[in-house]
Structure 1
Amino acid sequence: MSLDTVVEDIREEAHARAEDIRDEGESRAEEIESAAEADADEILAEAEREVEREVEQLREQRLSSAKLEAKQKRLEARRDVLTDVRESVESELTDLEGDAREELTQILIEAASAEFDEGNDVSVYGRADDQELIESLVEDYDGYEFAGEYDCLGGVVVESEQSRVRVNNTFDSVLEDVWEDNLQEISNRLFEQ
């Protein structure tokens, strides 16, 4: 065997070994690339799932927010309607005239008089426009007199220094009591669903 043959054998063996190393490297590179692609696919799939979760959460938040806003607007509209109804009732009470106004005022004075002892000096206050009416009504009660103006829709405020009692029997106070006691029923009738 000649030196050339040995060199040639070594060369062939080196080439074969290099070829094996290259094949092994390519195989290893393909494995790494395949694993990296699988990891990338998993990362991408997880990212997509996360984005879908965030989109769903955002959608739920917006839907919830829209529902809340709609509910608030409905409540606001209901409050506005109730305010309009209350103002309409107040206006009708202010505009009440004649026998109806006299009868209501008489009932309120009579109800207030039950709180005072006979012989007390009793001051009766009322709306300026009702002065004549109140003066004529209190003539039937001993010790009662119209004492001045009270800012109200109608009715009377009656008080006595001797008994230290003050009775607010104005249309305003009666309306407030009736309104509060019946607000749920009023609301149900106005906004039947």
Structure 2
Amino acid sequence: MRIVIAEDSAILRDGLVQLLTLRGVEVLAAVGDADALRAAVAEHAPDAAVIDIRLPPTQTDEGLRAAVDIRRDHPGTGVLIFSQYVETKYAAQLIGDGGAGVGYLLKERVVDIGEFVDALKRVAAGGTALDPEVVAQLFGASRRASALDALTPREREVLDLMAQGRTNNDIAASFVVSERAVEKHVANIFAKLDLPPSGSGHRRVLAVLRYLDA
């Protein structure tokens, strides 16, 4: 897996490079601002980019805006936002752009580097990896009535875990039920969200995007 990192803190940036390199991740560039991030992605065409939200010069949302640009200009590059903050202004646009390969994790809630690498791999492979707090805040930012109203409480819980990038096996373990039971919930979710089987195989991602958009 080939990645670039955008983090303005030199200590955290170097720490990420060392930790990820030790786990077999090839770090092509580690930069400290949004313009350097855009240039690095254009030059290296990485599998994914790990991006902090608040980058120079204003330390507001430069990283998130750069992530939106990268998703538009380099759709083959996954984007994993890694920040202390949840910014809903551009996050909904980033996650709801119709594409896959997007993640948003909060720094203080990542306690296992192995789980972080797994999330990064999911994003690079076209999946999602969303922190539950991010999902909650994005969901709270817009509560339009939708097909999601037809979901049962358990189906909503399953969809929430799907948004975090969890597999059916992971969800089954969380609920202490069989994987078959989870598959039934997932099938019901697809049916209620009007997501018929297709050759693309992206129904899971589309379901998550419907969830966040609603």
TM-score by length of 1: 0.22
Select the structure that is richer in helix. Answer: 1
TM-score by length of 2: 0.20
